[in-house]
Structure 1
Amino acid sequence: MFKSRGDIVYKCTVRLLEDTEILECEFHPSYKGKYLLDHVCSQLNLTETDYFGLRYVDAGGQRHWLHMAKLILKQVKDASPILFSFRVKFYPPNPLLLKEDVTRFQVYLQLKRDLLHGRLYCTANEAAMLGALIIQIELGDYDPNIHVGNYVSEMRLLLRQTDSIEARIQEIHREPVEGTPGGSGGVKGMSTQEAERQFLKIACQLDTYGIDPHPVKDHRGNQLYLGINHGGIMTFQGGRKTHHFKWSEVHKINFEGRMFIVHLNYPEKKHTVGFKCPSGASCRHVWCCAIEQMLFFTLASSSDACVYSGGGLFSWGTKFKYVGRTEREILERDGLLAPRDHQDEGSSTSGGKRKASSVPATPSTPMTGDFGYSSLPRSTHSAPLEESASVSASEACNGGCLLAGPAVDIALAASASALGDDKPGQCACHIAETRIVNCDAALASDYNPRDSFEHSSTESAATSHTHITHTGPPTAAGGGSSNEEWRAPPAPVPPALQPPPRPFSLLRAFVPSFVFVWISLAVLTLLVFETDWAPLRPLKRKPELVSLRHHYYAPLKEYLRKKVIELF
């Protein structure tokens, strides 16, 4: 007996944010991505499901997010076995505003993972504090009878841990919380929930919070990393943020082949910035990630949010339909934002499905002073080493600190090394040399020269050429580009006059072919019936053509001759 399609069951494995935890799930061919995500979230008792997603790697090594509105089987048809990774997809700008403790815990697990794999760039003091908070959450208060020796070394907290930074983590773990008797800025005495909230508060203010770096190259062939989060699109080079394009400045996003293109709108100026990705598949992935992040954090309503890019006469292009709630809808549901006027919503969403050129870009989340996101490089994260090295040893040791300067420069992980994040036990990137400076040693020596970043990703080592085009002067967020690299902008074209990207048109593709075929047949018919060309004589004598000429061609020719005579 053959099974019907509805009776077939497929099995898949979902790896959770802790590598040791997995879920074995089943689905039918007719099930869509939302079913699987809802099932995983229900197993974790998660109700705020909009921030999470399932990621998988295709046969070519390219990562993808499982689309919620498409069939699961169609998306992973070439995968064997079928493996998904449960991850935070949209990092909330302020994770402390999340309603459920279990949701905050999952975000904490994701950030802990980002810190371990080198995606969360931070200074030495921040790395030591984050590591101590993880120890406090995992082990509780310091107990000299239990926590003996170098107990921190037994836990993997950072991409590269040294004895010096482990010693600093242990010291912070032993010190009482500031404000308590004998408190000196440590974590002893913090409850698990307090330590988790402090960890989230520090992490969400880092430049690389919520960044999943994608390797691209600039017009000179230099390796860059493109990061996308709630604040916009950023570029990083050598562990330093070089540009920040906020969503309010982004006019539209599209891609052509391997070129990822960002169109920017500044007061009375327009700029176009292009980045070349290692492959067409990786470029499409970057575009999809950017579109999803922009729509989630900027749209007031997700209804009929549809975006097109690419395409032409001989290509299909790409259509992306956003599925799920936006951040504003979530905040309004939770009472953190006042509902918008329905008339405003109607006017903002009028026009049906939106093109990439008309997607609004206005952040919906109110940012407070504690969680503001500056478009300029932060001095604690983005300052070059030479500035930090100029600090004297006495200044470095003020307040009894053991660490000074950017001691842990974590290189950004490459996106197509998926494989570092999606395979347990593997890291997606390397870390620059860790420099720990004790107060005693700081008086005698300065910092060592900063090592260049190394990347283990196969995509970062790709030899594909890159092109980046700037049309306009660098912005304040640029910080690292010279004026010579920018060309004079062309005459600005009003957005209303800009043609939107054209999707694939069946009519446009087949009408020229149809007309060409009929013209060819007409020319061939005239050659056969109206000429006495020697090569065609045997063909004209065939019975089928003789009958065709007598019954159809001759009457039609006579009819057209009479009509022409009557007309003139």
Structure 2
Amino acid sequence: MFKSRTEGSVVFKCTVRLLEEPDVLECEFQPNHKGCNLLDYVCEQMDIKDKDYFGLRFVDVTRQRHWLDISKLILKQVKDVEPIVFSFRVKFFPADPFRLTGNSKIMIYQQLKRDLIHGRLYCSAGEAAALGSLIVQEELGDYNPEIHVGDYVSSLKLALRQTDQLERKVIELHKKREPGQVDHMVVDEFLSIARGLETYGIDPHPVKDHRGTQIYLGINYTGISTFASGKRVQHFRWPEVHKLNYEGKMFIAHLSYTDRESREPKKHTVGFKCPTGAACRYVWRCAIEQMLFFTLPNSQNASVMSGGGFIRGTKFRYSGRTEREILTESLNALRQQHLLNNTSPSKRKANSVPATPSSPQGDLAEMRYSSLPRSTMSEPMGCDRFCQDSSVIPCLETVSEEARRQTENSDLPDYYFRDSFEHSSSESGYTTNYDALRMGPNRLHHNQNTTDNFTFHMHQQHNNNTSSSTAMANQQNAINSAKKNMKKFSILHAFIPSFIFVIVVLAIMTVFILESESDNFVTFKNLPEMMSLNYQYYQPFKDFLLRRLGLKS
């Protein structure tokens, strides 16, 4: 199914569930295939061009969800999963879903329809009825009084809590719809309503605040939000998020923002307790991926992110393209097409008329990154309107001072994204005598004697400086020689030999197990990691050595 560098006889089978509930895709992969191979194959089968917005999700033996890492081996990620089942889902919801074309936009629509049915796309009763009528229009077509009689929408699943009142409202709106609308018009109208909701693109994570109150954490292209009773309590925009970390079950967000009243920069730390440590790592990774995908200018600027402390920490490096890279590529393609259209033989201008560059118009202007819709529903930090009501969850307080000190003193990298860097003029190491440049020829000639005297004094001062600098150099050399004579203990002198010894022992043990015919090692040799190591690295390296030694033709 996939192209691989090494031909292996071991093939693993998996099932990919698509967005339409009964549809599945049976796939196969080999031990050396990565997550990107499987995702590319699924997107190719479904004719999806914008594959960067989609992903494959699976559930491990502890019932914890994970996104399949496209940069790592599939077999290593699902080693304990049986049977291997993936779910094809939208991973990054774009701010403007109308930029996607073809089946990509249809997949966004189907994902939002699933979110509405499962209660993730939370909205008011009126908005749910409007979205439900569009689903009915897309699946049943125009209203026909001879066909659509009685409670004909009851056979369709439209919402999580589908009541009789909601169905009657959907029927009423379906009757009022203008006949003759094609499917893509209905889909566009559905996306237009859905993308304006606060829960657009939100996959709620159950967490608890500092008071132990059950709330839900949502992450999308705008930032991090908290929800209680279906309402957004707080919203932290990505420009305000300074750093993300987790410790045990605690997901921690470090914020930097400007106070609206005092106009002073402030820092704030919020913590959310997750049900388990694995769930906390999953929330942290989802937040990191969402933040980097929607904020980084390109994936080359992505550094290795660390979280969870030094002992049992997690390192993550973002792989794949960012949204800005996708938009830039689309913009360049439109510009190229625009130039080709303007330089066609029928539209060429005369040589006497100078050509002037034209600014992008129409669809080209809509591709600008700055034109993305921005959320206007963000609440001010520290002064939420929800905090004034004692019946609603108040603003989250900072975590303990000890936890903050541990996090600030750690070696974890800070997440700064700057477009430009300022350099001081002294860094260049070059200065210019602007006063000499301002003097004209006459003034230079008039001050010739003064210049000669000044040069003499400069030579004398240079000799004095040379003697003093020589003495300082001799003193510095003596200090350096004394430091070299001192024998200091270096941890590398003890660590490197031990590390090399351990690597050699592990290599010898691995070769012994792979070459052994004993039944005692059958279980160990059948592990996915050992099989992947055997087929991808050991066997090719062994054949290479045998050919070089002349033992194998």
Which bracket does the TM-score occupy, shorter chain normalised?
Answer: 0.5 to 0.7
Aligned-partner Cα distance in 2 for 1:487–1:256 = 12
User: Per-residue CA shift, 1:164-217, capped at 9, x if unaligned?
Assistant: 11111011111134xxxxxxxxxx442211110000010011000000000110
Residue aligning to 2:316: 320
Q: TM-score under structure 2 normalisation?
A: 0.63
Amino acid in structure 1 at the alignment position of 2:30: H
Does 2:411 match 1:500?
yes
| Secondary structure at the counterpart of residue 219 of structure 1 | coil
Match in the other structure for 1:335: 331
Counterpart of 2:17, as a letter, is R
Note closer, same or farther for the CA distance 1:261–1:6 as it changes in structure 2 (3 Å cut): same
Deviation readout 1:386-430 (Å, 9 max, x if unpaired): xxxxxxxxxxxxxxxxxxxxxxxxxxxxxxxxxxxxxxxxxxxxx
CA distance in 1, matches of 2:495, 2:297: 40
Residues 74-223 of structure 1: pairs in structure 2 closer than 5 A: 74-98=76-100, 100-177=101-178, 188-223=179-214
CA drift at 1:311 = 5.2
CA–CA distance in structure 2, aligned partners of residues 24 and 189 of structure 1:
37
Match of 1:288 among 285, 288, 307: 285
What is the rounded CA distance, in whole Å, between the counterparts of 2:400 and 2:22 in structure 1? 54
Does the Cα contact within 8 Å between 2:296 and 2:324 map onto a contact in 1? yes
Following superposition, the deviation at residue 336 of structure 1 comes to: 8.1
- 1:79 match: secondary structure: coil
Residue 240 of structure 1 deviates from its aligned partner by 1.2
Find 2:233's aligned residue among 218, 239, 242: 242
Tell me if the contact between 1:52 and 1:90 (Cα under 8 Å) persists in the aligned partners: yes
1:294-340 superposed Cα distances (whole Å, 9 cap, x missing partner): 0000000001513332355533x11111111100001111118999x
CA distance in 2, matches of 1:256, 1:215: 17
Q: Paired residue for 2:216?
A: 225
For residues 88-139 of structure 1, give each alpha carbon's deviation from its aligned partner in whole angstroms, at most 9, with x where no partner exists.
Answer: 00001110121x2211100000000000000001111110000000111111
TM-score under structure 1 normalisation? 0.61
* Residue in structure 1 matching 2:370, options 357, 363, 366: 366
Cα distance in structure 2, aligned partners of 1:489 and 1:338: 52
Q: In 2, are the aligned partners of 1:306 and 1:319 still within 8 Å (CA)?
A: no
- Residue in 1 that maps onto 2:252: 261
Note the C-alpha offset of 1:288.
0.4
Q: 2:300 pairs with 290, 303, 310, which one?
A: 303
Stretch of structure 1 that moved more, 195-204 or 138-147: 138-147
Q: One-letter code of the match for 1:115?
A: L
The match for 2:271 is 274
Q: Matches of 1:473 and 1:47 in 2, distance apart?
A: 39
Report if the CA contact (8 A) 2:246-2:281 is conserved: yes
- Rounded Cα–Cα distance in structure 1 between residues aligned with 2:222 and 2:168: 35
SS in 2 for 1:297: helix
**Which one-letter code corresponds to 1:322 in the other structure?**
Y
Conservation of the 8 A alpha-carbon contact between 1:297 and 1:365:
no
Q: Distance in 2 between matches of 1:484 and 1:277?
A: 15
- Letter in structure 2 aligned against 1:287: W
Greater radius of gyration (CA): 2
The unaligned stretches of length 5 or more in structure 1 are: 178-187, 340-363, 378-471, 515-568
**Closer/same/farther in 2, CA of residues 312 and 235 from structure 1, 3 Å limit:** closer
Asked if the contact 1:5–1:29 (Cα under 8 Å) also holds between the matched residues in 2, the reply is: no
State the AA in 2 paired with 1:318.
T
CA shift digits 1:203-244 (9 cap, x unpaired): 011000000000110111100100000000000111111000
* 1:5-31 Cα deviation digits (max 9, x unpaired): 811000000000011100000000000
Question: C-alpha separation between the residues in 1 aligned to 2:165 and 2:308?
Answer: 54
Larger proportion of helix: 2
Identical residues among aligned pairs (%): 53
Task: Tell me, in whole angstroms, the C-alpha distance in 2 between the residues paired with 1:313 and 1:158.
Answer: 45
Q: 1:304 to 1:8 in 2, by over 3 A?
A: farther
CA distance 1:336–1:90, shift in 2 (3 Å)? farther
Q: Post-superposition shift, 1:376?
A: 3.1
Which residues of 2 match residues 334-413 of structure 1 at below 5 A?
Answer: 334-335=330-331, 365-367=369-371, 371-376=373-378
RMSD between superposed Cα atoms in Å:
3.2
Distance in 2 of aligned mates of 1:486 and 1:36 = 42
Change (3 A) 1:261 1:311: closer
Write the deviation string for residues 268-291 of structure 1: whole angstroms up to 9, x where unpaired: 100111111111100000000000
Letter in 2 for 1:151: Y
Change in Cα spacing, 1:172 to 1:148, as seen in structure 2 (3 Å) is same
- Secondary structure of the structure 1 residue equivalent to 2:26: strand
| Larger RCO: 1 or 2 (CA < 8 Å, sep 6+) | 1
Residues 218, 194 of structure 1: alpha-carbon distance in 2 compared, 3 angstrom cutoff: same
Residues 244 and 478 of structure 1 are in contact (CA less than 8 Å); yes or no, is this contact kept in structure 2?
no
Q: Which residue among 48, 51, 61 is the counterpart of 1:49?
A: 51
Tell me the residue number matched to 1:425: none
Distance change >3 Å, CA 486–CA 72, structure 1 → 2: closer
Letter in 1 for 2:382: P
**1:304/1:70 CA distance change after superposition, 3 Å:** farther
Q: Which moved more, 1:476-485 or 1:142-151?
A: 476-485
1:233 alignment partner AA: I
The corresponding residue for 1:64 is: 66
Deviation of 1:474 (Å): 1.3
* Structure 2 unaligned blocks of 5 or more: 1-5, 259-264, 336-367, 415-490, 499-553
Label 1:367 to 1:244 Cα distance change in 2 as closer, same or farther (>3 A): farther
- Report the Cα distance in structure 2 between the residues aligned to 1:291 and 1:67, rounded to whole angstroms: 13
In the alignment, what sits opposite 2:340? Answer: none
Aligned equivalents of 2:269, 2:386: Cα separation in 1: 14
